[in-house]
A and B are shown apart, each in its own frame.
Chain A
Amino acid sequence: MDINVKVKPYLKIQAFYLFFIISSIQLGVGIMGLPRLVFLEAYQDAWISILIALLGILLVVFVMLRILTSYDNADILGIQIDLFGKWLGKIMGTVYIVYFAVTLFSVFITYIEVVKIFIFPELSNFVMGLLLVSLIVYCLLGGLKAIVGTCFIFFFLALWVLFLLIHPAVLLDFTHFQPVFQASFPELLSGARVTAYTFLGFEILFLIYPFIQNKKKVKKPVYFGVTFTALIVLITTVISIGFFSTDQLKNREWVVLNLFKIQSLPFIERFDYIVVAEWMMVVLPNMFLLMWAITYSMKRLYRVPQKITLYATAGLLLIACIFTSDHFLIQKIINTSAQYGFWLVFVYPLLLLPMVWIKKRRGKQKGAGRHSS
């Protein structure tokens, strides 16, 4: 297996699409319940936790870019093989694949659960699953360019939902934020930590990097992408805390969706129905990218044709979703994904960078030695 990836020129994408790729894979089902989770940890100072999380993410992204730029055109799978050798490298690559699969599954079933609770309680998981899986397969067959295109379009198609938040925003009760700075630093940190599941997704950069055409311009869209996500999360959290009272916030499962229950127009009375349906446009790019990550990694590591992985994963998703309708089981899967993701996405790159440095230095010394002899 080559460490560097040879990508055909017609498959390459422009760097600025990274903004849409990163923000659409980050925003998904996590944000629907996030304000509550952060609030449980950091109370009225939850917004500080999110800012801390943003700083952490910016650091991790910085590290990721440093790792990637020390190679010509490599992805994480190649880098790991370069660092750890063939066997350990492949095992670490598999860890990534499993992580993508767990996350994909958690997004998949959470969205189905939300649809069942808000719109169709009688709907069977299978029907909804079939619908989503067929969309995933359809888009994946179009290749990476089609996926990036959907990210781009759905980003704008889903953006208008933000304007609906104006109504709850004017009803904010500012006493809910006071007194400020009550949470201790550990509380703020654990608040930042629970945002992990929501912010997960920017690790796609590790895989998609070789496909970028103008690599010099990578930084800006990536940083803007994660900042944009954090901003959206911050806005929804602040509105949720101001709009709901403490006990309400503690007890509501999908706080953000509850924010859409008060808008009303003469011709559309219930915006929450529309928002839940609209949310599919937020969730789909998410699932497309995760599915692509799985199929692509399988091809890179084990030379399995992408179509075979795609159909197999789709089939497994469909079968598994029939058996997971219990709320607490779904929560457990989300937690697993969050834990797993926290270590793999936030902590692991920080450990990887020194190893890359050491490797490079050794390589140079060897090279230098050869020259002198």
Chain B
Amino acid sequence: MALLVLTACVPTKIIEKVAIINSYGIDAAEEGQIEKTIIAFRFDDEAQNIATTLSGTANTVRGAEEDAANKTSFTLKPGQIRLVVYGKEIAENGISPYINVLVRDARVSSMMYTAISTGTAKEVLTAGQENTPANIGQYLQDLIEKEIKQNTIPDVSFFHFTHALEDTGQDPILPLLGIRDNKAALIGMAVMDNGKYAGEISLKDAFLVNLFQKNIRDKPLEVSISKEPFSDYIEGQLQTDDEQLHISTLITDGRTRTKMTDVGGLEFQTEVNLKVNLYETSEPMRIRDEKAARLLEKEMEKKITKQYEQLLASLKETGSDPFGLGNIYRIKKESGKLTEQEWDEKFPEVTVDFKVNVQLVNYGSVR
């Protein structure tokens, strides 16, 4: 009885009359305004495609949504947002002003993804839509989710992102979406500094960041090492003129531990322990004896160390610290407190001694 009476007390939302926002993009428009491109689902019997694209311009994110809503007969609902894309131009000026709408509204999910696009967000969301059979928002979300599941990139779910964004000793990284072969694709990761786009890193580097942050299992890894030391082990004639030997491995267990060796001098030491299985080599070669295996391990260690050092050098240039070194520094500091500004100044001075330790466990069925 009470239920019958009360049904009228909350505004009804009839599924045929609402459009559920699946993803949206934010771009800079003229005069400091923002343009919002919305991809929404509507459950209309007559429509061929349930996804519909709308856009609106205003000073605030919600305002732009209102503007877009004026162009449709449906009510837009924010509860199912899965992906938010920020155009590069707007990201360079900082995305924090556009993030708080997602936090403040308790009805927005924490499990969505935020991303940056190489061009405008509109481009990725609309050009992509024409060339993707499924809904573009869903497609990109699945893509990012898959990469996270496979450990290629760190977990960039919204709650991880806001965590890193508001943590003084760590900076977030976000997926960088672009258009490749007329299709929207994940082309790298954008590193952020104080909520601003600071630069981009490749997906390979993104994996290194991920490895730094958490334990990795079951992740294929391709490493290119110098061919020269292995001349004795390569069978027969060289197949290619390439000076590099490419080997493909599977990481069965990857762990990283970082500690601070000198607080005043900002010196860190990172131990990376990898257990790998050998899958493929670009030259047919034999791991005849233990010596060969040790040599292979050593060369891989050298290469990965170098990759880490290069990554750190380029991160220092951008001023972004996705590793979270600042957190380790904060713990060791006497006061236990660290401001964003202080870490910004100190981060370019850090040195990290990467100690990579590779252990080849299996070589497959070929010796």
Interface residues of A, Cβ cutoff 8 Å to B:
43-44, 117-124, 127, 131, 134, 173, 175, 178-179, 182, 243-248, 251-252, 257-258, 261-262, 264, 269-270, 272
Contacts and interface: CB of A to CB of B under 8 A. Distances in A.
Contacts of A251: 166
Contacts of A244: 163
B106 A247 contact: no
Interface in B74-112: 79, 103, 106-107, 109-111
Nearest to A264: B111
Chain B interface bracket (under 10, 10 to 19, 20 to 34, 35 or more): 20 to 34
Contacts of A257: 106
B106 A270 contact: no
A175 B163 contact: no
B352 to A, nearest CB: 17
Given A248-B162, A270-B79, A118 B106 contact: yes
A127 to B, nearest CB: 4
B331 A178 contact: yes
A243 B166 CA distance: 12
A118 B167 CA distance: 25
24 contacts: A43-B336, A120-B10, A121-B107, A122-B11, A127-B10, A173-B327, A175-B169, A175-B324, A175-B330, A175-B331, A178-B331, A178-B336, A245-B170, A246-B166, A246-B167, A246-B168, A247-B166, A247-B167, A252-B103, A257-B106, A261-B110, A262-B110, A270-B79, A272-B106
A121 B2 CA distance: 21
B109 A269 contact: yes
A284 to B, nearest CB: 15
Nearest to A276: B106
A264 B328 CA distance: 31
B157 A262 contact: yes
Contacts of A264: 111
A269 B103 CA distance: 18
Nearest to A269: B109
Given A175-B330, A264-B111, A270-B109, A245 B9 contact: no
A124 B11 CA distance: 11
Nearest to B166: A247
Contacts of B110: 258, 261-262
A131 B109 contact: no
B159 interface: yes
Contacts of A258: 110
A247 B333 CA distance: 19
Interface string B285-327: 0000000000000000000000000000000000000001001
Contacts of A252: 103
A60 B333 CA distance: 39
A117 B103 CA distance: 12
Nearest to B164: A245
B6 interface: yes
A248 B170 CA distance: 13
Given A123-B9, A127-B6, A175-B327, 6 more contacts: A179-B333, A246-B166, A247-B167, A261-B111, A261-B159, A269-B109
A323 B243 CA distance: 78
A245 B166 contact: yes
Nearest to B170: A245
B163 A261 contact: no
A311 B332 CA distance: 60
Interface in B176-204: none
A248 B336 contact: no
- Of all A-B residue pairs in the complex, the 4 with the closest CB atoms, nearest first, are A245-B167, A247-B166, A261-B110, A178-B331
A251 B162 CA distance: 12
Q: Which of A173, A243, A245 has the most CB of B within 10 A?
A: A245
Nearest to A272: B106
Contacts of B6: 127, 131
A40 B106 CA distance: 22
A248 B163 contact: yes
